[in-house]
Amino acid sequence: MTDSSDAADIFRQEAGELLEKLEAALLDLERTPGDRDLINCAFRALHTIKGSGAMFGFDEVAAFAHEFESAFDRVRKGAAAPSPDLIAIALNAKDFLRAQIEKPDEASSVIGMCILADLRKLAQGPGGASALASAAAEPLAATPPAERRRWRIGMRFDKEVLVNGSNPLLLLDELRGLGDCRVTVRLDATPALESMDPSACYFSWEAELETTHPRSAVEEVFIFVASEMALTLDELPTGVAAPRSGPAPAAAPAPVEAAPAPVEAAPPAVEAAGAAEGAAKRDAKESATIRVQAERLDEMMDRVGELVIAQARLTQLAAAGASAKGVAEEIERLASSLRDAVMGVRMLPIGSLFGRFRRLVHDLSRDLGKEIELVAEGEETELDKTMIERLADPLIHVIRNAADHGLESPDERRAAGKDPVGRIRLVARHAGAEVLISVSDDGKGLDAKRIRAKAEEAGLVAPSVPLSDAELYQVLFQPGFSTARQVSALSGRGVGMDVVRRTIEGMRGSIDIASEAGKGSSFTLRLPLTLAIIEGLLVRVAETVYVVPLTAVEECVELSSDVDSRSKGRSFLNIRGELVPFLRLRELFAESGDPDPHQKVVIVANGETRIGLVVDQIIGSHQIVIKSLSKLHADAPSFSGATILGDGSVALILDVPHLIASGQAREARLQSTQAKALEAA
């Protein structure tokens, strides 16, 4: 029998998907209020949540969804217009539904009653505020009552329907809610008591229903159990009793209808600040399960089967003392294939994250008084599930900054000859072994002069040090740095962008910034495909082996003896006419002993910045299984993790962005020292 907690988890997962569909339909409906398909899509999602909530024992969810559905039904029938005000309240109702499902103890019934009161007010007709189109109510008064139709409904369920979590009595109650209904039960298939299975369903039912609802509404009652029952639905002529055959059936017990508690006084609706932002974070971080395509699981099973066969061959060869080289190669191939299959299972389309930001942009548009459109591209791009979970916070900060600082008000955009509707583009694409995610806007762009002035005022940049725009924009990620002239509820205190960089670098990624005055800005996040297994370059420094992520490596060159002897103080390599600074890892990690006479330099890059890492030996490339460092190693920022090599030894993985930042800080100190020396002279 299915465990009740498992059934509840299944409901929560399916309800989460339905709530996402509901939110997407509501957001689209605000832009195209006449789209009947969107209205029906939202209504179906609500109806499904109501029915499945009742089946799985979420009675409060079902009751709230029923009231929500009843109010939204007026929109479906054309009696109310899907105005921005009504959509806003509907989105709040959707948020409350999610809270009831995920955190029922925190879902205050008072807030739910307030939301429903506002929803009913906006959907009631002329008496309900500005949201209704006044013309919509007038034809409604003249509309003749809908034709009543009579149906004979036969219902016979599979014996396992109760075991699968369905309750036929709840379906009968829902059927009675459609109109005048008389239900009778048939016991002809009931066995003797001694042979009866208490978990099986032996009853069948027959009902006569008189209703104004269409046939489809009757069929929707049984939408969840259609594969577990035999349903017959025949229309009867009005005024004629339905013919019956067989023995007189026993009368069904009188239905017990649950009525919502009366509301004495509904206070004004309470809107929780940051509901959309919280939803985006929560949806990304609380996705404990993922759905996997069956063919991917089949592929994994095939690889595991081959691996078991190869392991049996290896055991047989080891017992016979024969060479195992061929089997070892076969196991290596299978392990690589199995790794790819498992990584494929963990991959999710990034569109599952992008879709949640539509609500964020919708609410930002209302709060800021700006017309903002979110355009998403590359939603089919796949990324590791863990990466998607950790991307929510950085993208929220970047999108909020684009909306608040980047885009101008509609009046300013008109004055500049632009479309009053500002656009934020969210684009994902693959680039080699990386995924690039860019957030761009068509606003006013970054003010390099103002950033420079603020940076010099804060002591982050020396006045005499020349910086390119790309280098200057990196100052935006310094903690507490902000160019906002006034602090708003959204931003202005310099909090957020430092968190963005820290999170992205913690994922072994980087951020590039590009901007053009009057045309907008673009923030591009460069991320590896996965955080579990990477390609790494093994290098040796003294007697210690380190790993450099191969995605950061551009090339390897030899450090000639004359360059080595000249590089006292400031260390630079001439790489095809470009000066590249380098760090000696032996000095950085305080390794003892004399360096190798033929040292090598590994050129690594982070965005537009390149730096060289001097090592004693380059061992070669290997696939690296990443292991996290413990909290005891939190004060070792030069390393992002560790791995276990084939001989059982441990190799630390170098944190390339941190090493580059260390090199830049060292260069800045040298330039500052030289500038002071020149001033003193």
What are 156's strand-pairing partners? 204, 230
Residue with tokens 């830049």: 664
Q: Which two tokens stand for residue 283?
A: 């949806």
Contacts of 250 (CB under 8 A, 6+ apart): 184, 185, 187
Q: Please, how many CA atoms are within 13 Å of residue 322, restricted to the half-sphere of its CB?
A: 10
Taking the C-alpha atoms of residue 314 and residue 318, their distance in angstroms, rounded to an integer, is 6
Question: Tokens at residue 92, please?
Answer: 């709040």
Find the helix or strand (DSSP H, E) in which 251 lies. Answer: strand 250-251
Phi, psi at 468, each rounded to 5°: -75, 165
- Run of H or E residues at 622: strand 617-625
Please check whether residue 229 is in contact with residue 156, taking contact to mean a CB–CB distance below 8 angstroms.
Answer: yes
* Identified catalytic residue from 23, 299, 401, 408: 401
CA 475/CA 462 separation, integer angstroms: 12
Residues 6 or more apart whose CB falls under 8 angstroms from that of 501 comprise 477, 511
As a whole number of angstroms, the distance between CA 165 and CA 142 comes to 45
List the helix and strand counts (H, then E) for the chain.
21, 22
Q: Is 373 helix (H, G, I), strand (E, B) or coil?
A: strand
Rounded Cα–Cα distance for residues 504 and 348 (Å): 19
Write a three-state SS string for 314-360: HHHHHHHCCCCHHHHHHHHHHHHHHHHHHHHHHEEECHHHHCCHHHH
Nearest CA to 657 out of 620, 624, 623, 610 is that of: 610
Report how far apart, in Å, the C-alpha atoms of 364 and of each of 275, 393, 437 are.
11, 16, 21
Cβ atoms within 10 Å, residue 242: 14
Q: Can 69 be counted among the known catalytic residues? A: yes
Backbone angles phi, psi at 663, to 5 degrees: -65, -40
Do 236 and 151 contact (CB within 8 A), yes or no?
yes
Strand order in the sheet with 371-377: 371-377, 421-431, 434-441, 520-528, 510-516
SS3 letters across 459-526: CCCCCCCCCCHHHHHHHHHCCCCCCCCCCCCCCCCCCCHHHHHHHHHHCCCEEEEEEECCCEEEEEEE
Quote the DSSP letter at residue 69.
Answer: H
Strand-pair partners of 424: 374, 441
Distance CA 611, CA 569 (A): 16
Residue type, 67: E
Q: Residue 323: CB partners within 8 Å, gap ≥ 6? A: 317
| Cα separation, 148 vs 212, whole angstroms | 4
> Would you state the structure tokens that stand for residue 60, as one six-digit string?
């409060």
Residue 66 has a CB neighbour count (10 Å cut-off) of 21
- Of residues 30, 60, 69, 434, which has the active-site annotation? 69
| Separation in Å, CA 6 to CA 3, 12, 225 | 5, 10, 18
Tell me whether residue 167 is one of the annotated catalytic residues. Answer: no
Q: Which two tokens stand for residue 456?
A: 């010099």
> Rounded to an integer, what distance in angstroms lies between the CA atom of residue 110 and that of residue 130?
24
Among the options 20, 23, 47, 67, which is catalytic? 47
Active site residues: 47, 69, 401
